[in-house]
Amino acid sequence: MKTIAVLLAVAATAAFADPWADFKTRFGLKFSSVEEEAMRKDIFETNVREIDAHNNAGHQWTKAVNSFAHLSGKEFASTYIGGWRGPSKSVNSVDTALLRVKSADLPSSVDWVSKGAVTPVKNQGQCGSCWAFSTTGSVEGITEISTGKLVSLSEQQLVDCSGSYGNQGCNGGLMDNAFKYIINNGGLCTEQAYPYQGTDGSCQSSSCSPAATISGYHDVPPRTPTRSAPPSPSSPCLLPLRPTRPASSSIPPVC
């Protein structure tokens, strides 16, 4: 009888779990009025239904609740989307030739996460610095693949210091410009040595020593067939994504 009672208690607890209350506690959310909370709860529940519907549809990638799940798509877009400034003309004209290898020599996929070449998820906040995070992610990956050591690199250094290469800090930038800065600067400092602030600041690169660098980069031309990219099966490729909804997306980490 005691075993049955315990099982019933557990089932009752699960049945009456409150996702909204759990969400507020998890992210430390408080609201100024009952009306505001009711509105946020309604948006949250709408987003959760969309997440569940997507995950139950059998797609190859999944969604999950994150700290933005109480925002509408319009609110999320107006506050957080932006930062990548596409090139106005062809960039990296010297290196744009894609290094092709025979399809038979390429693996069908490479999971760099399972290989330990990807740092944990980072949050750019309300600074339009997605280009900096995209840059550090690829440099972190190739550094681990080359040296066996995964080091989180400084996005803030790119925000603060790469303006002369055409980037505009929290107002946007381009990964190619950031790569040029890294090459000419001799590398990037670690995240720990030059921590992320999420705002524009003065360059402090002299306060730390570069922990990783690159010698070059290649742009994959638009509409290149998937089997022709990346230039090498032993290097990560960089894919800018434009989020449109306040939910975390888990895309298979293959390239």
- The C-alpha atoms of residue 53 and residue 134 are separated, in whole angstroms, by 29
Q: Record the tokens describing residue 68, joined without a space.
A: 């933005």
- The C-alpha atoms of residue 173 and residue 159 are separated, in whole angstroms, by 9
64: part of which helix (H) or strand (E)? strand 62-64
pLDDT digits (tens, 9 = 90+) for 141-154: 999 999 999 999 99
pLDDT digits (tens, 9 = 90+) for 98-143: 455 556 667 777 888 899 999 998 988 889 898 999 999 999 999 9
Q: pLDDT band at 61, cuts 50/70/90?
A: confident
Q: Record the tokens describing residue 249, joined without a space.
A: 């997306």
Q: Give 244's contacts (C-beta < 8 A, 6+ positions apart).
A: 73, 77, 81
> Mapped to the 3 state alphabet, what secondary structure does 152-212 carry?
CECHHHHHHHCHHHCCCHHHCECHHHHHHHHHHHCCECECCCCCCCCCCCCCCHHHCCCCE
* Candidate from 91-100, 117-126, 153-162, 194-203 with smallest mean pLDDT: 91-100
Give the residue-averaged pLDDT of 169-190.
95
